[in-house]
Amino acid sequence: MLVLENATKTYIKDGKEVRALDGVSLAVPAGEFVVARGPSGCGKSTLLLTAGALLRPDSGRVSVDGQDPYAMGPEARAMLRARVIGFVFQQFHLAPYLTVRENVLAASLALRLPGAETRADELIERFQLADRANHLPAELSTGQKQRAALARALLNRPKLLLADEPTGNLDPGNASVVLEHIADFVREGGAALMVTHDAQADHLATRIVAIDRGRLQEHAAAPSRQTE
């Protein structure tokens, strides 16, 4: 589903060259939940942006669902993202002037997804947001906001889920709920790559990798529920 081969990305910061990605190779096939850990500034966010067809690497190859997004034009790349990839962020990025239902449905605009309203209602019910469907984000708890953001990410039935610290603003109870939903997505055949500091994710991951100074190291296979 997701393959990076020798991906490199370099920035210039304060006159010095910083390698955010230094020859990173990683494969995340369907049915795998990969957790990436590392200190701040180690390259985790750059890894997700590159994997998500949002940041072109200086060198190396990226494949998403068997396609190279960086060999495409901007419109085709945007359609690939909309069709194949779901994004979840720490800060939710919900439109403040839209209701929960409208925020979830916003993900379908690029694709004009048939049955989008039915799918949105199913996800809202599944994520226990039915009584908040017509509420604005300001009227939601932090946990409800993240569940709404996750529902939006899953609306188009993506094959790949990319999550950047999705539990960073949540208490342990809400974090556990969000992680279980991501694990469910993987159990149903999806692929997930998540960067996090949350140790709760370890028992749900199929693999844990470490990234430091732009380099990736594989850890031992995680004790996972995915294979149970």
Angle at 136 between CA 157 and CA 151, to 5 degrees: 15
C-alpha span between 224 and 221 (Å, rounded):
8
C-alpha span between 153 and 132 (Å, rounded):
18
C-alpha span between 174 and 143 (Å, rounded):
5
What pLDDT score does 174 carry? 92
Burial class for 82, CB neighbours closer than 10 Å (0-12, 13-18, 19+):
middle
User: 């190291």: which residue's tokens?
Assistant: 217
C-alpha span between 151 and 66 (Å, rounded):
25
Answer yes or no: pTM beyond 0.85: yes
Domain ranges of the chain: 2-218
What pLDDT score does 227 carry? 45
> Regarding the domain delimited by 2-218, which CATH topology (the fold level of the hierarchy) does it fall under?
Rossmann fold (3.40.50)
What pLDDT score does 85 carry? 98
Q: What are the pLDDT tens digits along the chain (228 aa)?
A: 999 999 999 999 888 898 999 999 999 999 999 999 988 778 899 999 999 999 999 999 999 999 999 999 999 999 999 999 999 998 999 999 999 999 999 998 878 878 999 999 999 999 999 999 999 999 999 999 999 999 999 999 999 999 999 999 999 999 999 999 999 999 999 999 999 888 889 999 999 999 998 999 876 455 545 444
